[in-house]
Chains A and B, each alone.
Chain A
Amino acid sequence: MITRFLWTGMGRNLRLFVLLVLAVGIVVPALNLLMPKTSAFYVPAYALQLIGKYLCYASLALAVDLVWGFCGILTLGHAAFFALGGYCMGMYLMRQIGARGVYGNPILPDFMVFLNYPELPWFWHGFNHFWFAAAMIVIVPSVLALALGWFAFRSRVTGVYLSIITQAMTFALLLAFFRNDMGFGGNNGMTDFKDILGYSVQADTTRAALCFASALALAIFLVISGAIIGSRFGTALIAVRDAESRMRFLGYRAETYKLFVFVLSAAMAGIAGALYVPQIGIINPSEFAPGNSIEAVLWVAVGGRGTLIGPVIGAFIVNFAKTYLTGALPEVWLFALGALFIVVTLFLPKGVVGLWAQLRARNLARKATAA
Chain B
Amino acid sequence: MSQKRLLAWLLPFLAIVAVAGSAFAADLGSLVTNLVTGGYSERDDAIKALATSGEARAAPILQALSAGDLYVRNSDKLVVIGKVSASGGSGKLALTDAVTGKDAGTAAEDDLDKVKVNNRLRGTIDAAMGSLTLMSPDPKVRRQAAESLFTRRDASALAALEPALAAEKDDSIKRSMIEARAAIVLTTPDTTPAQKLAAVAVVRDRGDRDAMAVLQAAAQSTNGEVKAAALAGAESVRNTLQAWTQAQNVWYGISLGSVLLLAAIGLAITFGTMGVINMAHGEMVMLGAYTTFVVQQALRSYAPGLNEISVIIALPLAFLVSGAVGVLIERTIIRFLYGRSLDTLLATWGLSLVLQQAVRSIFGPTNREVSSPSWMSGSFHVGQLDVTYGRLWIIVFALLVFAALLLLLRKTPLGLYMRAVTQNRPMAAAVGIRTPRVDALTFGLGSGIAGLAGVALSQIDNVSPNLGQGYIIDSFMVVVFGGVGNLFGTLVGATALGIVNKFLEPYAGAVLGKILVLVFIILFIQRRPRGLFALKGRSVE
- Judge A-B direct contact (beta carbons within 8 Å): yes
| Known contacts A172-B519, A179-B512, A334-B354; is-contact A345 B529 (Cβ 8 Å) | no
The answer to whether B518 and A157 touch across the interface, beta carbons within 8 angstroms, is no
Cβ of B522 < 8 Å from any Cβ of A?
yes
| Known contacts A165-B522, A167-B476, A345-B347; is-contact A338 B529 (Cβ 8 Å) | no
Q: Min CB distance, A165 to chain B, in Å?
A: 5
Cβ of B31 < 8 Å from any Cβ of A?
no
Q: Min CB distance, A315 to chain B, in Å?
A: 15
Q: Min CB distance, A279 to chain B, in Å?
A: 26
Residue from A156, A168, A179 having most chain B Cβ neighbours under 10 A: A168
Residues of B within 8 A of A167 (CB): 473, 476
Task: Give bound CA distance, A152 to B349, whole Å.
Answer: 25
Task: Give bound CA distance, A155 to B480, whole Å.
Answer: 16
Q: What 0/1 pattern do residues 339 to 351 of A give for CB contact below 8 A with B?
A: 1111011100100
The answer to whether A346 and B337 touch across the interface, beta carbons within 8 angstroms, is yes
The answer to whether B357 and A346 touch across the interface, beta carbons within 8 angstroms, is no
Cβ of B535 < 8 Å from any Cβ of A?
no
Closest 10 CB pairs of A and B: A341-B350, A338-B353, A338-B354, A334-B357, A172-B518, A345-B347, A338-B350, A342-B350, A157-B529, A155-B526
Residues of B within 8 A of A152 (CB): 525-526
Residues of A within 8 A of B349 (CB): 294, 298, 341
A157-190 contacts to B (CB < 8 Å)? 157-161, 163-165, 167-169, 171-172, 175-176, 178-179
Q: Min CB distance, A331 to chain B, in Å?
A: 7
The answer to whether A169 and B354 touch across the interface, beta carbons within 8 angstroms, is no
Task: Give bound CA distance, A334 to B356, whole Å.
Answer: 9
Task: Give bound CA distance, A245 to B342, whole Å.
Answer: 20
Cβ of B135 < 8 Å from any Cβ of A?
no
Task: Give bound CA distance, A282 to B342, whole Å.
Answer: 32
19 cross-chain CB contacts under 8 A? A148-B522, A151-B526, A161-B529, A172-B522, A175-B515, A178-B511, A179-B511, A297-B346, A298-B346, A334-B353, A334-B356, A334-B357, A335-B358, A338-B350, A338-B357, A342-B351, A344-B346, A346-B333, A349-B340
Cβ of A74 < 8 Å from any Cβ of B?
yes
Partner of B477, one of A160, A168, A245, A346: A168
Q: What 0/1 pattern do residues 443 to 485 of B give for CB contact below 8 A with A?
A: 0000000000000000000000000000001001100100010
Residue from B361, B523, B529 having most chain A Cβ neighbours under 10 A: B529
Task: Give bound CA distance, A159 to B340, whole Å.
Answer: 11
Q: What 0/1 pattern do residues 375 to 388 of B give for CB contact below 8 A with A?
A: 00000000000000
Residue from A156, A339, A345, A349 having most chain B Cβ neighbours under 10 A: A345
Residues of A within 8 A of B344 (CB): 345
Task: Give bound CA distance, A170 to B325, whole Å.
Answer: 30
Q: Min CB distance, B96 to chain A, in Å?
A: 52
Task: Give bound CA distance, A334 to B341, whole Å.
Answer: 24
Residues of B within 8 A of A179 (CB): 511-512
Task: Give bound CA distance, A161 to B512, whole Å.
Answer: 23
Task: Give bound CA distance, A337 to B355, whole Å.
Answer: 12
Residues of A within 8 A of B346 (CB): 294, 297-298, 301, 341, 344-345
Task: Give bound CA distance, A161 to B527, whole Å.
Answer: 12
Residues of A within 8 A of B277 (CB): 160, 163
Cβ of B113 < 8 Å from any Cβ of A?
no
Residue from A151, A171, A342 having most chain B Cβ neighbours under 10 A: A342
Number of interface residues of A (CB under 8 A): 43
Cβ of A90 < 8 Å from any Cβ of B?
no
Q: Min CB distance, B368 to chain A, in Å?
A: 19
Partner of B541, one of A245, A332, A341, A344: A245
Residues of B within 8 A of A176 (CB): 511, 515
Cβ of A141 < 8 Å from any Cβ of B?
no
Q: Which residues of A contact B (CB under 8 A)?
A: 74, 148, 151-152, 155-161, 163-165, 167-169, 171-172, 175-176, 178-179, 245, 290, 294, 297-298, 301, 331-332, 334-335, 337-342, 344-346, 349
Task: Give bound CA distance, A335 to B514, whole Å.
Answer: 32
Cβ of B521 < 8 Å from any Cβ of A?
yes
Task: Give bound CA distance, A165 to B514, whole Å.
Answer: 15
The answer to whether A346 and B356 touch across the interface, beta carbons within 8 angstroms, is no
The answer to whether B337 and A345 touch across the interface, beta carbons within 8 angstroms, is yes
Cβ of B345 < 8 Å from any Cβ of A?
yes
Q: Min CB distance, A100 to chain B, in Å?
A: 32
Residues of B within 8 A of A342 (CB): 333, 347, 350-351, 354
Cβ of B441 < 8 Å from any Cβ of A?
no
Partner of B361, one of A74, A160, A161, A331: A331
Residues of B within 8 A of A157 (CB): 525-526, 529
> Whose C-beta in chain A lies nearest to the C-beta of B521?
A168
| Known contacts A335-B354, A341-B353; is-contact A164 B476 (Cβ 8 Å) | yes
Residues of B within 8 A of A334 (CB): 353-354, 356-357
Residues of A within 8 A of B337 (CB): 345-346
Cβ of B336 < 8 Å from any Cβ of A?
yes
Task: Give bound CA distance, A288 to B477, whole Å.
Answer: 18
Q: Min CB distance, B500 to chain A, in Å?
A: 14
The answer to whether B347 and A172 touch across the interface, beta carbons within 8 angstroms, is no
| Known contacts A337-B353, A338-B351; is-contact A345 B343 (Cβ 8 Å) | yes
Residues of A within 8 A of B523 (CB): 151
Total residue contacts A-B, CB cutoff 8 A: 118
Number of interface residues of B (CB under 8 A): 43
Residues of A within 8 A of B480 (CB): 160-161, 164
Task: Give bound CA distance, A167 to B476, whole Å.
Answer: 10
Residues of A within 8 A of B541 (CB): 245
Cβ of B287 < 8 Å from any Cβ of A?
no
B315-372 contacts to A (CB < 8 Å)? 333, 336-337, 340-347, 349-354, 356-358, 361
Partner of A169, one of B340, B347, B522: B522
Residues of B within 8 A of A163 (CB): 277, 342, 345
The answer to whether A339 and B350 touch across the interface, beta carbons within 8 angstroms, is yes
Task: Give bound CA distance, A158 to B356, whole Å.
Answer: 31
Cβ of B279 < 8 Å from any Cβ of A?
yes
Residues of B within 8 A of A301 (CB): 343, 346
Q: Min CB distance, A276 to chain B, in Å?
A: 22
Residues of A within 8 A of B347 (CB): 341-342, 345-346
Residues of A within 8 A of B57 (CB): none
Q: What 0/1 pattern do residues 504 to 541 of B give for CB contact below 8 A with A?
A: 00000001101100110111011101100000000001
Q: Min CB distance, A58 to chain B, in Å?
A: 18
Task: Give bound CA distance, A164 to B357, whole Å.
Answer: 25
Task: Give bound CA distance, A337 to B484, whole Å.
Answer: 31
Task: A334-B353, A346-B347 given; name 8 further pairs at CB < 8 Å.
Answer: A155-B526, A159-B342, A164-B476, A167-B473, A294-B346, A335-B358, A345-B344, A345-B347
The answer to whether B354 and A339 touch across the interface, beta carbons within 8 angstroms, is yes
Residues of B within 8 A of A337 (CB): 350, 353
Q: Min CB distance, B46 to chain A, in Å?
A: 48
Task: Give bound CA distance, A297 to B347, whole Å.
Answer: 11
Residues of A within 8 A of B473 (CB): 167-168, 171, 290
Residues of A within 8 A of B350 (CB): 298, 337-342, 345
Residues of A within 8 A of B343 (CB): 301, 345, 349
The answer to whether A175 and B511 touch across the interface, beta carbons within 8 angstroms, is yes
Task: Give bound CA distance, A344 to B346, whole Å.
Answer: 9
Residues of B within 8 A of A171 (CB): 473, 518
Q: What 0/1 pattern do residues 90 to 121 of B give for CB contact below 8 A with A?
A: 00000000000000000000000000000000
Task: Give bound CA distance, A223 to B345, whole Å.
Answer: 30
Q: Min CB distance, B354 to chain A, in Å?
A: 4
Residues of B within 8 A of A294 (CB): 279, 345-346, 349
The answer to whether B525 and A165 touch across the interface, beta carbons within 8 angstroms, is yes
Residues of A within 8 A of B341 (CB): 159-160
Task: Give bound CA distance, A70 to B480, whole Å.
Answer: 25
> Whose C-beta in chain A lies nearest to the C-beta of B469?
A291
Task: Give bound CA distance, A334 to B360, whole Å.
Answer: 11
Partner of B352, one of A160, A175, A338, A340: A338
Residues of B within 8 A of A165 (CB): 521-522, 525
The answer to whether A156 and B529 touch across the interface, beta carbons within 8 angstroms, is yes
Residues of A within 8 A of B515 (CB): 172, 175-176
